[in-house]
Amino acid sequence: MNHSRRAGQERGYRSSARARELGDALTQVREKAELTADSLAKSLSWSPSKISRMESGKRGSSEMDVAIYAVKCGAPRPELERLRQLARETDAEYRLQAHGRDLPDNLRSLIRLENTADAIINYDLVSIPGLLQTEDYVRALLGMSKQMSEGQFEPRVLARLS
């Protein structure tokens, strides 16, 4: 790899888990507002590629850009604050994010990260990797947990299978 290409990668052409989660959240806000990426870019006087890079996590997004983007999409105040907090965090500070009541926060974040990963490496002598698990296996595995109520069981089984 030549030096100029390596420098380009260090400037943000490779996305991090935090940047992908922020990008996914921005995309959801835009889609909820029923805006296309092009129409949002035009209304903000930004290039369509800036919107695309923010949403894909392949561009560092300042807290100010995230706030402008979210406000233009009509994001409610709590969502705006969540997005700003995510933009403020560094990759080193990034932790699993809150996502609602149906699934535990850490499970929702892990699902999002798994869906956007380039590769998943798993080594475990005792359990079957997630993508190879059958419904019966998932139910038996989760059934051994003493940490969830009955109401949490089905949503976790369905999330695991999807």
pLDDT digits (tens, 9 = 90+) for 13-22: 466 778 888 8
Rounded to 5°, the CA angle 16-21-24 comes to: 125
Q: Is the pLDDT of residue 3 over 70?
A: no
Q: Note the pTM of the prediction, 2 decimals.
A: 0.56
Q: How far apart are CA 59 and CA 47, in angstroms?
A: 13
Residues 121-142: tens digit of each pLDDT: 777 777 787 778 899 998 888 8
Q: Which residue has the higher pLDDT, 128 or 32?
A: 32
Residues 6+ apart with CB under 8 A from 97: 21, 82, 86, 105, 108, 109
